[in-house]
Chain A
């Protein structure tokens, strides 16, 4: 390693609340939500020449779920569509630093899923076979083989495990900065600390007319609006009279003191929603499901989570008993009933695009979703996801169940 100064300051980062420039009067595209999904779409659109974009973020970048997740990225899914999408997303993440000039600290240490029951083992075997057909190197392991990958695990009581070595973890925040800087360099404008308060539909007598998006800092007209507000997307949709079926669910997470590297994969236990990995800084970072939670946008931290998580960790890794918790926080999952997102235009409202309902997995899906969304809106052929993952499917009952959901 050679000493070298960091690069010169760029003007693209987000100014604080006090020094925001005024909103422009109009933009071709207004993206609501400066999370990883909205920023990924914005960068892809800008990359394809459609750079007249304004991104509206209510807080600072990384304030929502994009800045609060565990940073996992995996290709172990239960439907071919998700497996193939996530294979492509992993490939895009591997290029991210080269494309956008910022480190995201991808570490492909694998994902190790543990199953307690024969039913769960069957689930892993069936999915591993599908994943292998798609070219993912998932293997179903005995508990003893799982112990070879993570010797600290107490695998008594487990029936099987599934391991794909090319899954991994990354560091979430630089994704947002990378996409944001990349989009802004290409001409997009990012306005943080800007809250959307109302949206006027295009005038009834003007089929090609603009939306007007009202914000805490003034109004802006837009040819198209993209609702990428994550767990807040139903609130945004309601502003144009659209009722969305996705709901926010609080998920909590904790981080321990930094430890010397010992844990290679992300470890997850089926049925409990427990997952944990070791971050690039050495902390154990993970979460667990708290069953019985109602839908909420509350993001307070609870003792119930701390105790549930501590018990799950101490049972699975006895050596964790003396490991100290440094902090806990919460973030909202954006949940749909079939485990798949909601994309495209709602019936009767052209040029209002949905991109939400990512089930807590939006982070790992953002690179590929952003790519296909950008290509479509820039004039390309729509990918099959825009036919499958529509809002209309919830009314018609044509659901596409994805069951490989953590938490």
Chain B
């Protein structure tokens, strides 16, 4: 069960003349939400809301709009703690709003552990909390959190007594896991197993661009303009990546970059993360999960433009709901048109922090800036923060502005060399001047090579996209010369 505080909607009214259509499926202009001129602070970047729908939140109707994701619709309707955590039953809500962190897992449509921040709203969609009783806000098992105030070494717990150890194992087993097994299909019939789709040989792309943020879209455009057959994929429900979190860009910039890439001839697919590169299968295949099938692709060259993952800072109770990434606050504002807070603390000094703070203030939010937070206070949602100087401020949001960590997992799994560079965000992909990684035919650009921000990432992408297209063209020529 999920508690909600009834309050006026946090959505900006603003489906008026300044509103913009989203660039992807589900974001098209639909029925008006609350017609009227855009409010101050939205600067015309507000999403045109789709048709009104109703979520089924454990039997309660929750108003939502197509184009919103479940986590956003629940937040805008006053829901706070969405579920409880695995071990200590600490309250959980979204953190990154980008599908990377695993903080917003809920039971959706009878399936466990689904990312609420990536699930599009649809009429009658069943949504429920997990791992909480009686409710996500008041969970009796939260007592475990107090029993182990700093953490636990489960390897050496209760090893002294056989009887206690047997009890420990029994209790641990009963409390284990997160979501329940998926609901059975009626009659327990076998699941639908769509055929695997293949893009290899004649249908293979010259350039596979993984990630459709500023770097990936610029790379796709440049490669397509150079004559390459380009497939761009992105894990987000809407392409645009960090553009969708950045007040200086937003949906408008994302939509125009996507249009530009498509106009140049590139195919751009959203909601399609790469799940791995498998060198031993079918001559080397990239596997891509789309909503309804698995695609196996054998590109001539690959560009990793996967951007960065939002990172939390280390402070007491840093996982409290209401502590969200700065870029998640940006996504609420510029992609979803939802006011993230009344009083926000913007913590950290990442390059994007100042612009975010200004945008929040322009939206009428009281903003306190601090280099770092010492502690978050509150229960199921943050109510105050202890700042770096020891002072305590009342707030209903802590926006953590850390340097994003390069999302180098796909490239690392492929085999590209990386180097830990703390100042640039984490494990950065090693590249040469042309963006070539340690592997032939595999390139990388943008924040995944070290944080640089959307404008620099786009420049990098354009350069590397052209280089990858040239490499693909050379590969094509070699294929033609080989009988």
Alpha-carbon separation in the docked complex, A311 to B153 (Å) = 37
Contact with B along A97-109 (1 / 0, CB 8 A): 1100111011100
Q: Is A292 an interface residue (CB 8 A)?
A: no
Interchain CB contact under 8 A, B176 and A280? yes
Interchain CB contact under 8 A, B190 and A315? yes
Within B96-110, the residues touching A (CB, 8 Å) are 110
Hey, which chain A residues are within 8 Å of B185, CB to CB?
318-319, 321
Hey, which chain A residues are within 8 Å of B189, CB to CB?
318
Q: How many residues of B contact A (CB 8 A)?
A: 53
Hey, which chain B residues are within 8 Å of A311, CB to CB?
193
Interchain CB contact under 8 A, A97 and B159? yes
Q: Is A6 an interface residue (CB 8 A)?
A: yes
Q: Is A338 an interface residue (CB 8 A)?
A: no
Alpha-carbon separation in the docked complex, A318 to B184 (Å) = 7
With beta carbons under 8 angstroms apart, the residue of A2, A154, A303, A314 that contacts B278 is: A303
Within B372-389, the residues touching A (CB, 8 Å) are none
A148 to chain B, nearest CB (A): 15
Contact with B along A300-322 (1 / 0, CB 8 A): 11111001000100110011111
Interchain CB contact under 8 A, A261 and B174? yes
Hey, which chain A residues are within 8 Å of B152, CB to CB?
6
B143 to chain A, nearest CB (A): 10
Alpha-carbon separation in the docked complex, A262 to B182 (Å) = 12
Interchain CB contact under 8 A, A154 and B188? yes
Alpha-carbon separation in the docked complex, A260 to B132 (Å) = 12
Interchain CB contact under 8 A, B191 and A301? no
Contact with B along A1-24 (1 / 0, CB 8 A): 111101100000000000000000
Hey, which chain B residues are within 8 Å of A1, CB to CB?
147, 158, 168, 171
Interchain CB contact under 8 A, B149 and A3? yes
Q: Do A314 and B191 form a contact, CB below 8 Å, given A257-B178, A260-B180, A319-B181?
A: yes
With beta carbons under 8 angstroms apart, the residue of B113, B176, B190 that contacts A321 is: B190
Within B278-307, the residues touching A (CB, 8 Å) are 278-282, 285, 287, 296
Interchain CB contact under 8 A, B181 and A260? yes
Hey, which chain B residues are within 8 Å of A282, CB to CB?
176-178
Alpha-carbon separation in the docked complex, A4 to B136 (Å) = 27
Closest to B196 in A: A307
A101 to chain B, nearest CB (A): 5
Hey, which chain B residues are within 8 Å of A281, CB to CB?
86, 176-177
Hey, which chain B residues are within 8 Å of A101, CB to CB?
156, 159-160
Hey, which chain A residues are within 8 Å of B154, CB to CB?
103
Hey, which chain B residues are within 8 Å of A315, CB to CB?
190
Interchain CB contact under 8 A, B296 and A152? no
Within A99-131, the residues touching B (CB, 8 Å) are 101-103, 105-107
Alpha-carbon separation in the docked complex, A261 to B296 (Å) = 34
Q: Do A7 and B191 form a contact, CB below 8 Å, given A257-B112, A258-B178, A280-B176?
A: no
With beta carbons under 8 angstroms apart, the residue of B156, B179, B192 that contacts A259 is: B179
Hey, which chain B residues are within 8 Å of A261, CB to CB?
173-174, 176-177
Interchain CB contact under 8 A, A7 and B156? yes
Alpha-carbon separation in the docked complex, A328 to B281 (Å) = 15
Hey, which chain A residues are within 8 Å of B158, CB to CB?
1, 103
Q: Do A318 and B190 form a contact, CB below 8 Å, given A98-B162, A258-B86, A300-B279?
A: yes
With beta carbons under 8 angstroms apart, the residue of A4, A6, A154, A259 that contacts B181 is: A259
Alpha-carbon separation in the docked complex, A107 to B276 (Å) = 33
Hey, which chain B residues are within 8 Å of A6, CB to CB?
152-153, 156-157
Alpha-carbon separation in the docked complex, A287 to B146 (Å) = 38
Alpha-carbon separation in the docked complex, A259 to B180 (Å) = 5
A150 to chain B, nearest CB (A): 12
Alpha-carbon separation in the docked complex, A97 to B179 (Å) = 30
Q: Is B34 an interface residue (CB 8 A)?
A: no
Closest to A263 in B: B181
B273 to chain A, nearest CB (A): 12
Hey, which chain A residues are within 8 Å of B180, CB to CB?
259-260, 262
Alpha-carbon separation in the docked complex, A137 to B442 (Å) = 56
Closest to A315 in B: B190
Hey, which chain B residues are within 8 Å of A322, CB to CB?
110-111, 182, 191
Q: Is A187 an interface residue (CB 8 A)?
A: no
Q: Is B165 an interface residue (CB 8 A)?
A: yes
16 pairs across A/B with beta carbons < 8 Å?
Answer: A1-B168, A3-B146, A101-B159, A103-B158, A103-B169, A257-B112, A257-B113, A259-B112, A261-B174, A280-B172, A280-B176, A300-B279, A303-B282, A303-B287, A303-B296, A322-B111
Q: Which residues of A contact B (CB under 8 A)?
A: 1-4, 6-7, 97-98, 101-103, 105-107, 152, 154, 174, 177, 257-262, 280-282, 300-304, 307, 311, 314-315, 318-324
Q: Which residues of B contact A (CB under 8 A)?
A: 86, 110-113, 131, 146-149, 152-160, 162, 165, 168-169, 171-174, 176-185, 188-193, 196, 276, 278-282, 285, 287, 296
List the 10 shortest-distance A-B pairs measured between CB atoms, nearest first. Answer: A321-B191, A282-B177, A6-B153, A322-B182, A260-B177, A303-B278, A303-B281, A282-B176, A257-B113, A258-B178
**Known contacts A303-B281, A322-B191; can you find 13 more A-B pairs with CB under 8 A?**
A3-B149, A98-B162, A102-B155, A107-B173, A154-B190, A174-B155, A257-B113, A258-B86, A260-B180, A261-B176, A262-B181, A303-B282, A318-B190
